[in-house]
Amino acid sequence: MRFAFPPYVAALAFLQHGKLVTNVNEDLFLSTLRSWLHGMWNMHIRARAGLPDSGRLMAIFIAERAGAPMRSCDTARAVVDAGLAEDRYAEGQGFWRLTDGCQLTLIHAEDLVRAERRHAVQLGAGQHRRNLVVQGLARADLRGRDVRIGEALLVWHRLRPPCGYLDRVSGKGMAKALGRHAGHCYRVREGGLIRVGDKVILVAR
């Protein structure tokens, strides 16, 4: 697989007597070059492995307070260092806000379908208690991968395992149904509007 440097990189530097010479700040140039090379390498590896690098946002759910039913939305606004506007965790009303809270949670649509089939549970109305449902990235390892959805940039934080509280709110057996595929926690680095149907793009750090 051949890579061509973008024009702005080619214009920034050349080699002279073995020394890198730039017409811009050297740290800025090297940082830009490293980011570009890292992104190209990730694209190459994913292409060789046949792994997806984008998906689609299928559903958005928010709840006004801890234990309240999840409400489906067509659009939502991601707020920097908070979560989704009007959601319990962004408003400081989440059950785990003091110990184990997540600004925003994401789960694969494919994992929800699998859980429904294997455990005879209903998850289509947000019983999983996750904010975003995405499709097309189930084969991708999201751990450590940031995502851009609509206007928002979300930074991966950690896995979001199920817990006993999920059974209390959504019904017995819900935590077992989700198991090891209960989703991910994200932090909002860049805020903005997100919409159902938006492309979900994996971003290299």
How far is residue 17's CA from residue 25's CA, in Å, rounded to a whole number?
A: 19
How far is residue 138's CA from residue 130's CA, in Å, rounded to a whole number?
A: 16
Q: If you average pLDDT over residues 132-155, what whole number do you get?
A: 93
Helix ranges, 17-81 (H): 26-49
- Is the C-alpha dihedral spanning 65, 67, 73, 77 positive or negative? positive
The pTM for the full model equals 0.72
| pLDDT higher than 50, residue 135 | yes
Q: If you average pLDDT over residues 18-41, what whole number do you get?
A: 55
pLDDT for 5 equals 47
Nearest Cα to Cα of residue 157 among 177, 131, 118? 131
> Residue 32 is encoded by which pair of tokens?
């830009």
Distance of CA 7 to the CA centre of its chain: 30
> How many C-beta atoms surround the C-beta of residue 50 within 10 A?
7
> How many C-beta atoms surround the C-beta of residue 68 within 10 A?
12
**Residue pLDDT, tens place only, 43-99:** 555 444 556 789 999 999 999 988 889 999 999 999 999 999 999 989 887 665 656
Rounded to whole angstroms, the maximal C-alpha distance in the chain is: 71
Helix ranges, the chain (H): 7-12, 26-49, 109-119, 164-170, 174-178
Q: Which fold has domain 54-203?
A: M1 Pyruvate Kinase; Domain 3 (2.40.33)
Q: If you average pLDDT over residues 130-141, what whole number do you get?
A: 91
> How many C-beta atoms surround the C-beta of residue 92 within 10 A?
12
**Residue pLDDT, tens place only, 172-197:** 888 888 888 999 999 999 999 999 99
